[in-house]
Structure 1
Amino acid sequence: MGKNARRRRRGGLDGAPASKRRKRTEWTDSPLGRAVEPAGLVLSDGTEPNKLTVEPAIFQKKLSALFRRHPNTQEAVDEFTESLKKYTDNSVRFRQALLPTSVADGADVMSRSGGLDSLMRQLLSVDYLQPSVAHLLLLRLSSYMDTEPSSHSLNTRELCQMPALIINQLRWLDHIVNGKDLCRELLEVVGVAPVEIQREIVTAIPEILDDAQHNNAALELKSLLQSNSGLMAATIDAMSSLNLSFDIEAEVSRTIPIYCCLHLQNTQVLDVAMGCLGTASVADLPLVLRFIMQQVNSKSAV
């Protein structure tokens, strides 16, 4: 068999000589395994954490270089993403992909005592992969809105943790590749999610989206609140952390009276606040009252 034929058998995403490969698993020869394992990450079967053999920055750099040098980058990304989707079809493996990675035995990695990003966070740090991985995460979030153990291999406690684990992957990314699409997809999920997950997403929006998308997010949240008053506390919390233009801020303030408390004089705050307390749900009432008191106290201190 010739050299080119051997290369074709190995596939398009392969970066390590056969002599340096580690113990083979069912995923070693998948597009996912052929990309991440030579770059420095040993995939888990779900029973233990995914393990880094190199520093996270080196892993991300090698993975990025692999896609950059590929003759058809988009094709390679699509192939990788489809393989990642199959890998995470198993809920046990997917959960491990959302949990911190560990350091492989004998690896020369400085960060050995926790704090290493999950597999999904590592992949989101690669610009070539971020949009497709974020899209996959939000699709997965939709599938974990039902917490019936019969539909997954996780127990009830683990299932209940999955939405928060998924959302946390998107928080505080160093760089957003396509903020407009991420904002749109995130808010689409909010529109169909149960109220508990809606609150989780809405509260996280300022920590997920970059400033360029804050105006769009505020307008969508305003519309959402008009149809679902149960999100009042989460929406107010998110709005107070968004960097909005003057026009958008004014529009939001006209629609959400309590939000005006951030911009009114002390003599006006209580009148506006008392006027909107009647629309708050019983569950949200303590949070709304606390928000009002915080605003009153902060303005009184000025």
Structure 2
Amino acid sequence: AGVTLKTDDSSNGIAVDQVVFQKRIQRQLQKSPRYPGVLQEFITGLEAYIENPDRFRSCLLPCVPHLSNGDSSCSSVSSFQESLLRMLLGIEMLQTLIINTLLEKLPEFMSDGAAEGGLSIPHMIINQLKWLDRVVDAKELSVKLMELVSVAPVEVQRDIITSLPEILEDSQHNDIARQLNALLQENTQLTVPILDSLSSLSLSSSLLMKVREAVMAMLAAVQLEDLPVVVKFILHTVSASDANEVVCNLRKKLELEQCVLPPVLQASQIRIKSKGAGAANVSTPAGGSSQDSVTLTLDCIKSAVRFQKTISEAWLKVIESADDHRVIDLLVLFILHATNSNQSRRGAERILKLKVRTGLIQEALLQRTFRDYSQVMRGYFSSILALAQSLLRSPDPCVVPFGGHMHRHSFTAFDSYCQQEVVGSLVTHVCSGVGGEVDMALDLLCGLVLEKPSEMALYSVFVKGILDYMDNLTPQQIRKLFSLLSKLAFGQQQQGSHIQDDMHIVIRKQLSSTVPKYKRIGIIGAVMIVGSMAAFRPKAKESQAGSLSQETLRQVTALLELVKSSSESSPEAAALYYDELANLIYSSSLDPQVQEMIGTSVLDDFQDDFVVDLGPDIPGSFLFPACAMYNLDDEESQGCIAVNLLPLLANETQNKGE
């Protein structure tokens, strides 16, 4: 008929096209005087031939085309041909008998692993049954396949179940779905293949609803690694009429808090596992696989809300109507904001603001979400940052702090790229000139410098850019700005040292200005720099002489002298300088050498400017009589001194009059 059978384990050869081969076999059988009994004889001979495992394997492999001399059909042989058994299955009079033979042979190989080359005989047998042009007795085939499922090992069960949509005709889909639904309740190991198969079957709406309800009921008990498939099946079988109900039930049953262990327990599990296994076996964190499963689950939700408008609307309604919010609510809001739909994006932003304003979503939930799901949330960083920016610039003071929390947690939980974006965002808010927005952004930057100094030092060049936008900042905001810049530039982290020269240039430029506004900026900035340069390092507490190097002490002294000389001509500037110094001494811990130097300098200035020796007469003409009051010196002292208030006031009044 055109097929050459091999006696070894090599593939059978074929010299004609498979259609020609099938027609020849069918014609020979029909012409036989023993027809139809010859069909059973043919099957008996085939069974005897494939009794040998190598021959059976050859009959399952595609035939190799080859030319046969004198055969006019050889020119039509294509480069790919089906296996011998697959071609025999295409002959309708033999199909049922061949199927019975294959399914009877399958149990013989159930316990065998994959053969050399990774080929599994049960898998090859099942593949023979896929995509047949016509199944003669589909009902009988479905019965036999389900009988095999009931006795086969798990791997074979999975293979059969996932192949059912490709084997059975549409007329059998509802019947097989009912059986799979029943099996789903009995065997959780088969959850994924059953749901994969059910997703590909053509089911009636009533049966589909029944199956979905059964799947929803078992959601809490499903294995974590199976969760993405379960959620995908539930969402992809939703209709517009029941979307709200299904999403509401899914939200209630999807307890993500139980899916990912807290970091402390993850570390504990790793230690327990490492005691009984080598380091190579525990190189993957315990929480990695669980976070991967949660990520895949959220990807299923993301796919559903992106391509099904009814699903996205249902999620928005369900979250808006809820009062007891959980991690899933925040994550879904981030997902909805990440979609291309403007309606979903605006809806997610509106609901988040509403829930924050009413106190139903608080910072504790946000912190827990970042702590346990940072790996999951990394994929939605752009949406998280956009929402944080929207909250931070909101005119509603109730939601602004929550936007700050989102910025801070994003910086501490994510990688360097995200950290850079967060710093850039906060710098933009500072440069906006909007009062509340500027204050919150500066407070966040100051907090991050204290909490993560090494990381923040890497992005000091971005923060330095705020120096170009100081015109719109208040004195208090300028104080915060120079406080964080000086900590970055002169702190113990060397990464920020490259902006020291820039800061000195800015300070000198501002101090030399004759405009009071800019001179004020220079004074505030210089004192903040002194506070960072002269900070008392805890590790040097035992050294009472101080921990500053002579070079640093020289720079601090020079900077203070520069501020002093720049403010001498303006009483307002001088007053601000002493005010800032007093605030620095009160609020900071300075090196003892610097404290002593500042004390000596201020005392000398006070004595030179305000303290005079008091004689019997007070020279000068005044608007009212001058006298010494309050007994500054004891009566027994030889020389008297006084604070020279009235003469100084009189001189100033006279100068103004002139």
TM-score tier, shorter chain, comes to 0.7 to 0.9
Structure 1 residue 102 displacement after superposition: 1.4
Q: For each residue in 1:57-106, what CA deviation from the matched residue of structure 2 results, as whole angstroms up to 9, or x when unmatched?
A: 11101111223333443421211111111111111111111111012333
* Residue identity opposite 2:25 in structure 1: L
Aligned match of 1:147 in 109, 112, 120? Answer: 112
Q: Aligned to 2:12, which of 36, 50, 62? A: 50
SS of residue paired to 1:45:
coil
Secondary structure of the corresponding residue to residue 210 of structure 2:
helix
Distance 1:286 1:79, change over 3 A: farther
Aligned to 2:238: 263
Residue 43 of structure 2 corresponds to 81
Residue 66 of structure 2: aligned partner: 104
Contact 2:17 2:78 in 1 (8 A): no
Tell me how far apart the structure 2 counterparts of residues 172 and 220 of structure 1 sit (CA, whole Å): 21
Offset, 1:158: 5.3
The structure with more helix, counted as a fraction of residues: 2
Give the residue type in structure 2 aligned to 1:185: K
Partner of residue 307, structure 2: 298
Unaligned runs of 5+ in 2: 217-229, 260-288, 312-658
Q: CA deviation at 1:136?
A: 1.3
Task: Decide which structure has the larger Cα Rg and report it.
Answer: 2
Q: What residue in structure 1 maps to residue 92 of structure 2?
A: 127
CA distance in 2, matches of 1:128, 1:287: 51
CA RMSD, 1 decimal: 3.0
1:220 aligns with 2:179: yes
Residues 93-133 of structure 1, C-alpha deviations (whole Å, 9 max, x = no match) = 111111110123335143442x2100011000000111111
Q: Does the CA-based 8 Å contact 1:50-1:96 persist in structure 2? A: yes
Distance 1:165 1:239, change over 3 A: same
Q: SS in structure 2 opposite 1:128?
A: helix
Partner of 2:336: none
What letter corresponds to residue 110 of structure 1 in structure 2? Answer: S
Displacement of 1:269 in angstroms is 4.7
Residues 9-88 of structure 1: pairs in structure 2 closer than 5 A: 39-88=1-50
Aligned residue for 1:256, secondary structure, equals helix
Bigger mean CA deviation after superposition, 61-70 or 228-237: 61-70
Q: TM-score, normalised by structure 2?
A: 0.36
- 2:39 partner letter: V
How many Å apart are 1:201 and its aligned residue? 0.9
Match of 1:187 among 146, 169, 178: 146
1:91 is matched with 53
After superposition, what is the alpha-carbon deviation per residue over 1:7-62, rounded to whole angstroms, capped at 9, x for unaligned? xxxxxxxxxxxxxxxxxxxxxxxxxxxxxxxx221112133221122221111011
Which residue of 210, 225, 240 corresponds with 1:251? 210
Decide whether the 8 Å contact of 1:67 with 1:128 is kept in 2.
Answer: no
* Separation of aligned partners in 2, 1:253 and 1:237: 13
CA distance in 2, matches of 1:134, 1:287: 42
TM normalised by structure 1 equals 0.74
Report percent identity of matched pairs. 32
Change over 3 Å in CA distance of 1:63–1:252 after alignment to 2:
same
**Matches of 1:142 and 1:254, distance apart in 2:** 34
Q: d(CA) in 1 for partners of 2:145 and 2:296?
A: 25
Distance 2:160 2:302 in 1: 25
Per the alignment, residue 203 of structure 1 pairs with 162
How many angstroms does 1:292 deviate by? 5.2
What is the letter of the counterpart of residue 263 of structure 1? V
Letter in 1 for 2:92: D
User: Secondary structure at 2:200's aligned position in 1?
Assistant: coil
CA drift of 1:277 comes to 7.8
Judge conservation of contact 2:9–2:57 (CA < 8 Å) in 1. no
The residue type equivalent to 2:238 in the other structure is: H
Shift of 1:271: 4.2
Determine if contact 2:158/2:190 at 8 Å carries over to the other structure. yes
Unaligned runs of 5+ in 1: 1-38, 149-154
Letter aligned with residue 239 of structure 1: L
Misfit runs of 4+, over 6 Å: none
1:132 partner letter: L
What amino acid is the match of 1:67?
L
With CA pairs under 8 Å and 6+ residues apart, which has the higher RCO, 1 or 2?
Answer: 1
Contact 1:269/1:296 (<8 A) preserved: no
Match of 2:125 in 1: 166
